[in-house]
């Protein structure tokens, strides 16, 4: 529980620092340097790969994946987990829109490979990928027994989430600080949802134990 609280405070702190610094010269220099390096070469095969990773965090892909995951959880009698997955993803998307309206940061206009509407900060794709793939990874981590499998789950989730964020920078629709802020906001929301799920399940277990 306390680890979760500390993680929540960490993510909130990171987001607060980024939010307060997006107009500073330091962040602008950081963003420009990373964008320049990532867009130094844009071969067609790499662009196709980045488009694929971006698609994995699109609304269409996440809705389909979330439905499939929720149905699997219901089949495995993990109804509360399925409910909190839906709350985390749906609530996170609404939260992201509110944050975008609050900061109203325009998207970068340097070498944009695709067109995206709306504001830039924080990255919705990065936040959504952290939420969905992060929560799925947590559930799988808790359900499997093998240590090797647990390690594989963590590494796969980290690599996938990182690739989604990298794709947004590569395609020219987000600043690196947008992506980091998306991870921070997604991390905070994810931890909050997991803490809420933990409390609900613990209360249900305690109630069931008392009734027995």
Which is the catalytic residue, given 111, 174, 198, 209? 174
Q: Which of 111, 125, 198, 209 is catalytic?
A: 125
- 152 close to 137: Cβ distance less than 8 angstroms: no
Tally of CB atoms within 10 A around 141: 14
CA distances from 186 to 77, 144, 169, 177, 179 (A): 26, 24, 17, 14, 10
Positive or negative, the CA dihedral 32, 35, 38, 44 is negative
Active site residue 125: yes
Q: 111 catalytic, yes or no? A: no
Tell me which residues are annotated as active site.
125, 174
């Amino acid at each position: 529980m306390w680890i979760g609280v500390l993680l929540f405070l960490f993510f909130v702190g990171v987001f607060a620092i980024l939010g307060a610094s997006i107009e500073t010269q330091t962040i602008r220099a950081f963003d420009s340097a990373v964008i320049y390096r990532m867009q130094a070469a844009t071969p067609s095969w790499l662009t196709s790969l980045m488009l694929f990773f971006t698609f994995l965090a699109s609304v269409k892909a996440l809705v389909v994946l979330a439905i499939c995951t929720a149905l699997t959880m219901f089949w495995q009698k993990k109804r509360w987990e399925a409910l909190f997955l839906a709350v985390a993803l749906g609530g996170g998307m609404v939260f992201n829109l509110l944050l975008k309206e609050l900061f109203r940061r325009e998207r970068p206009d340097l070498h944009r490979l695709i067109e995206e509407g709306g504001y830039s900060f924080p990255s919705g794709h990065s936040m959504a990928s952290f939420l969905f793939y992060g929560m799925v990874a947590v559930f799988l981590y808790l359900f499997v027994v093998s240590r090797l499998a647990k390690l594989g789950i963590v590494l796969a989730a980290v690599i996938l989430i990182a690739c989604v964020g990298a794709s947004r920078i590569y395609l020219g629709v987000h600043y690196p600080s947008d992506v980091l802020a998306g991870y921070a906001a997604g991390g905070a929301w994810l931890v909050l949802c997991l803490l809420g799920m933990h409390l609900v399940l613990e209360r249900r277990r305690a109630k069931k134990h008392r009734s027995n």
